[in-house]
Structure 1
Amino acid sequence: MKNTFRNYMLILMFTTTSLSSFGQAPISNSFGLVYKDAIAENVPGKVNIHPVTYQLNGLKIAANVYTPANYNAAEKYPAVIVAHPNGGVKEQVGGLYAQRLAELGYITIAADASYQGASGGEPRHTDKPQFRVEDIHGMADFISHYPGVDAGRLGALGICGGGGYTLKAVQSDKRINAVATISMFNSGEVRRNGFQNSQVNTIQERLQQASNARAQEMAGGEIRYSGVASITDEEIAKTTTDLYREGYEYYYRTDKHPNSTFLYTTSSLMDLMTWDARDKIELIDQPLLMIAGSKADTKYMTDEAFEKATNAKNKELFLIDGATHIQTYYVPEYVNQAINKLNEFFGNNL
């Protein structure tokens, strides 16, 4: 039982440790980007990156805007919002897809979620669905007024947890004309039921733990965190699920970033466990593309949401043959397939 909980990363691990306390080699990229072939400097006539900040509900949001080659603010470009995975930051897979789409002529924005990454908000690593959804609305606010953006051609791309939150955001935000997800992860369903419905028998117990954690916070006590703060190579090797084993390797080894952490406040579970990306999904009437790896152990979440999105226009499920969930983040052949499909989709609908 202990190993199962550890492997699924769903046991409530009460700790105040953050990833900043663990050693990491300095990031050599001048923009802090950790993905392969990331922009290292802005070169005239090439895709450029523009770090920006803006205010959202009293918090400072940190984001990167990517502009296409030969960008001219006097022209009009389609734009795409990119929402990063749970625990991720804009310098990882969100930035990779934002850069690749900019290479195809889109102005893109990847922002750190509120309370996470380089964005403001306390307690750190708060992970509430309503904040993540509002972050997407906030990116739409900002990029719609960015020089050169055609606000009438605005798309959204959500990756992993960002995919679930994007499905929720576009239900009401009709400024977004087309929506796509990659390896969609329904955070509420997993936090409530456990990964692959492995913890349905402990829902009430975990809700009580979350409630106790909030009570402790409100009393001025120590903030409790859930998730995994660090992991050894041996523990990674023993992890049985592709999602978590490959996720540990991605976030803690190959594409690690000091602002990226698997931790989240335990009290956030009070909101997460009562939320679901599929709730009211029939309100999506925009064109919808959902991309998943054919071997992804998270594919069931994409299938569930796709089936319930009954009013989406021209909806399409695109499978990347042979890919797992995490492999869609960085493996060139799989990323290329996703990008080609996204270019086709946004090209037809923006």
Structure 2
Amino acid sequence: MEAITFPNDQITMAGNLYLPEGLDRTGRHPAVVVVHPGGGVKEQAAGLYASKLAEQGFVALAFDASYQGDSGGEPHHLEDPYARVDDVRAAVDHLQTLDFVDPERIGALGICAGGGYSVNAAMTDYRIKALTTVSAVNVGTSFRRGWYGTDADAAAVPTLQALAQQRTAEAAQDAEPTYLPYVPAEPDENTPRDLVEASDYYLTPRAQHPNAKNKFLFTKSVSRIFTFDAFHMVEDLFTQPVLVVAGSEAGSLWMSTELHGRARGPKKLRIVEGGTHMDFYDVPKYVDQAIAEATPFFTEHLAATSTDQG
């Protein structure tokens, strides 16, 4: 693994580049951009998947989102879906500058919200030749409709009203900027199982990291998140092959099945029996199954052509 930086307009991005053992740097190899969940950093699930993809022969890049982790951008702790999508494009930019990466054989793998962001990026960036989502989340839709997707979009209105009041107070300098947690610090009996497990993942030694602060700016993030739809126009613009991996017990499963149902290109849905949303972050049984699906998928769709081979 090599710690790297790369540009994203005026922001300096921080990433970890995972290379296959014994990589021939004189050749050109397939590569995968790995996109972390909301609230995550490159050292957590994204880094785990990147390392395992490297073991399978792919160059893999995990990076911190702009405004988060070790990456630049102010104000920090901003969750901006449109910036997150741009991050994916910037990561592809960087991979295409590497002499040992084939610029025509780049894919993406997104976890949780990173899955939704990856889909949205691929819709307008056809340099991404193939995409895998793992426990995919369409973050804007999830925020509006709730974790299980059972609320109407209008359920977001009270939060937006509170946001307006908070923004007014901050503009008048009567209040400091406020933050919301990505995952509940103190889950209760009403907390969805997946989010209880998310709290255990992010806030205990299981996967806790000092750069994952479990907070995002309320006013500046929510106003961007609530109007974002990662799957908007997916039927018309998303043409690449897609592998959708999710657990049968995940409360977020509805977003994976929606993506698979709406995608019009080559697609495969792999529902892993017994898996929850968070199982695919670090539980070996489930991570290994996701990699076992992703490896042949990327091998097929990022294969060198006779022209590539000269």
Q: TM-score, normalised by structure 1?
A: 0.81
Match of 1:224 in 2: 178
Match of 1:10 in 2: none
State the one-letter code of the partner of 1:224.
Answer: T
Deviations 1:63-118 (A, max 9, x none): 00011110121111100000000000000000000000000110010010011111
Residue 301 (structure 1) aligned with residue 255 (structure 2): yes
State the secondary structure of the residue aligned to 1:150.
Answer: strand
State the secondary structure of the residue aligned to 1:174.
Answer: coil
- Structure-1 separation of matches of 2:100 and 2:200: 38
Residue 176 (structure 1) aligned with residue 128 (structure 2): yes
State the secondary structure of the residue aligned to 1:195.
Answer: coil
- Structure-1 separation of matches of 2:197 and 2:211: 19
- Once structures 1 and 2 are overlaid, which stretch shifts more, 96-105 or 272-281? 272-281
Determine if contact 1:159/1:181 at 8 Å carries over to the other structure: yes
State the one-letter code of the partner of 1:340.
Answer: A
- Structure-2 separation of matches of 1:272 and 1:176: 24
Determine if contact 1:216/1:223 at 8 Å carries over to the other structure: no
Deviations 1:283-312 (A, max 9, x none): 1111111100111111011111211112x2
| Deviation of 1:243 (Å) | 1.2
State the secondary structure of the residue aligned to 2:261.
Answer: helix
State the secondary structure of the residue aligned to 1:196.
Answer: coil
Determine if contact 2:183/2:195 at 8 Å carries over to the other structure: no
- Structure-2 separation of matches of 1:215 and 1:60: 31
Determine if contact 2:182/2:216 at 8 Å carries over to the other structure: no
How is 1:81-230 mapped onto 2 (pairs within 5 angstroms)?
Answer: 81-197=33-149, 200=152, 202-219=155-172, 221-227=175-181
- Structure-2 separation of matches of 1:95 and 1:130: 22
Match of 1:242 in 2: 193
Match of 2:296 in 1: 344
- Structure-2 separation of matches of 1:176 and 1:215: 41
Residue 276 (structure 1) aligned with residue 233 (structure 2): no
- Structure-1 separation of matches of 2:258 and 2:116: 12
- Structure-2 separation of matches of 1:217 and 1:152: 47
Determine if contact 1:211/1:270 at 8 Å carries over to the other structure: no
State the secondary structure of the residue aligned to 2:239.
Answer: coil
Match of 2:244 in 1: 290
Question: Judging changes above 3 Å, is the alpha-carbon distance between structure 1 residues 202 and 345 closer, same or farther for their aligned structure 2 residues?
Answer: same
- Structure-1 separation of matches of 2:155 and 2:2: 45
- Structure-1 separation of matches of 2:2 and 2:246: 30
Determine if contact 2:244/2:268 at 8 Å carries over to the other structure: yes
| Deviation of 1:205 (Å) | 1.6
Number of residue-to-residue matches in the alignment: 297
Deviations 1:154-191 (A, max 9, x none): 00000000000001000010001001100001100111
State the secondary structure of the residue aligned to 2:148.
Answer: helix
Question: Judging changes above 3 Å, is the alpha-carbon distance between structure 1 residues 75 and 172 closer, same or farther for their aligned structure 2 residues?
Answer: same
CA RMSD of aligned residues (A): 1.7
Deviations 1:183-207 (A, max 9, x none): 0011001112222245546422211
Determine if contact 2:184/2:196 at 8 Å carries over to the other structure: no
Question: Judging changes above 3 Å, is the alpha-carbon distance between structure 1 residues 197 and 321 closer, same or farther for their aligned structure 2 residues?
Answer: closer
State the one-letter code of the partner of 1:141.
Answer: D
Question: Judging changes above 3 Å, is the alpha-carbon distance between structure 1 residues 75 and 247 closer, same or farther for their aligned structure 2 residues?
Answer: same
- Structure-2 separation of matches of 1:74 and 1:214: 54
Unaligned runs of 5+ in 1: 1-48
Match of 1:35 in 2: none
| Deviation of 1:241 (Å) | 1.6
- Once structures 1 and 2 are overlaid, which stretch shifts more, 94-103 or 199-208? 199-208
State the secondary structure of the residue aligned to 2:277.
Answer: coil
Match of 1:327 in 2: 279
- Structure-1 separation of matches of 2:278 and 2:255: 15
Runs of 4+ in structure 1 off by over 6 angstroms are none
Unaligned runs of 5+ in 2: 303-310
Q: TM-score, normalised by structure 2?
A: 0.91
Question: Judging changes above 3 Å, is the alpha-carbon distance between structure 1 residues 190 and 147 closer, same or farther for their aligned structure 2 residues?
Answer: same
